[in-house]
Amino acid sequence: MPLLDLPDQLTHRAYIRAVAAALAAADVPVSAVSYPHDEEADLVLLRRAVLDLDMRATWRAYGDQEVSLLWTDEAGWSVGWGPAGDVCGASVTACRSLVPEPAEVVSAARAALTAPPTEDLPCPFRSCMDHDEELEAVLDVYTFNETAHQEGQS
């Protein structure tokens, strides 16, 4: 029996897509979305996502540094910035829960566009090694809603 059920390991993607859509609807430009380690999901338990913010929107507050919204299933959302290729040169926890509503992520992103955040918000930490029914249930809602929406369009 495998350690991981691969589809469960990818359940965060619908949530991340919902956040990216909310950012786009709020005119917070995202230049790229990536899922580091997903191609190694059978080896790496940590679920991650990186939403790179468009440099045209971040230039005033960060200069030529790259700025990203970073998500993990251990620590939730943070804002990371740094030289090209090192957005974790500095990072600050941006939301108070692991899977906040997309609108909360939008608020954190808008605030980060005006100035680099200076203070970590308290957010619960969990180990990706621990199964968390509540976390999985929240992520499943986004997957279900996305699937239902796609089926309704066909």
Per-residue pLDDT for the chain (154 aa), expressed as one digit of tens each?
233 343 556 789 999 999 999 999 999 999 999 988 755 555 567 889 999 999 999 999 999 999 999 999 999 999 999 988 776 778 899 999 999 999 999 999 999 999 999 988 888 888 888 888 999 999 999 988 888 877 777 6
Domain boundaries, position 59: 6-153
Ranges of H-type helices in 4-132: 6-9, 12-25, 55-62, 102-114
Q: Angle at CA 96, nearest 5°, toward 3 and 112? A: 110
Among 69, 48, 47, smallest CA distance to 57 is for: 69
Domains in the chain, number: 1
* CA–CA dist 33, 16 (Å, integer): 9
Whether pTM exceeds 0.85: yes
The answer as to whether 1 is a domain residue is: no
* CA–CA dist 63, 128 (Å, integer): 34
